[in-house]
Amino acid sequence: MDFRSIGSLRVSVVGLGCNNFGMRIDEAATRRVVDAALDAGINFFDTADIYGATKSEAFLGRALSGRRDRAIIATKFGMAVDERRKGARPEYVRQACEDSLRRLGTDRIDLYQLHQPDPAVPVADTLGAMNDLVKAGKVREIGCSNFSAEQLDEAARAVKPGAARFVSVQNEYSLLHREPEKSVLPACERLNLAFLPYFPLASGLLTGKFEPGRPAPPDSRLSQSWTSRFTTDANVRVTEALKAFAARHGHTVLELAFSWLLSRAPVASVIAGATSPEQVRANAAAAKWTLTAADLAEIDRLTDR
């Protein structure tokens, strides 16, 4: 397993997204997935207070009990846990952090991320509260998610000298969703931010398990109604072309999805969810294809870029 940097953190280039914990899998299955991740060399675990209605953090914390030092834990706050627990007000930042620390059963969060911008709160106020958490030793690094390039620039301008700044941004990015290339990835390079792509497999479409004209496997994420935006005719057509391209090179489209993302300079780790040890092992092994300039040009053509 290779490693890259997020601020002062060294993370595995394949991370484990923990949004299935407490939602699609129970605590025993969560432990099996976490065990497989550690065995495969994955040290980066990304969760959030809202995942699994707060169960994800609790399940992850208990699965890592006794081996916390083997893991880099990232979690998030800001989206609504309920009507009272949401947003980015300084007093809530402090409360949310304490709640996450308790659920995770740890004394520190390695990467604490604002899950989405809060237009009702100046970002300088939120950054000040997050900096206090860093100074108190409760958080090591801070990041954000679902930020535009303009919002990243605004946050960079709001940081006081010597204070903690965002070191990462986590936005949707995949072979089928290349919106970050317009302005967010250039902002990452300009501001020295690590980029963390979520939905790197387009919610399962890029695993290669989806067959055009057939329903998604009943136990897959693509079988859920909210994922219909991924299975458009255009996305299915492009995916089939990418599958054929990967096969010609002796690889799978899953390997292509991971390796292509890791060819993008600001990407530090590809965070993919898993519901079984087999999925974890497949993901961990998928990041070993070094794409050539000709490969990348052909991929751009196949994805209409």
Task: Return the active site residues.
Answer: 51
DSSP, residue by residue, 90-141: HHHHHHHHHHHHHHHT-S-EEEEEE-S--TTS-HHHHHHHHHHHHHTTSEEE
Give the C-alpha separation, 180 to 195, whole Å: 10
Give the C-alpha separation, 127 to 50, whole Å: 21
Nearest in space to 196 (alpha carbons), one of 103, 98, 298, 110: 110
Cα of first residue to Cα of last residue in the chain, in angstroms, is: 30
What is the identity of the amino acid at 267? V
Q: Is the dihedral of CA 298, 299, 304, 305 positive or negative?
A: negative
Is 128 in contact with 153 (CB distance < 8 Å)?
A: no
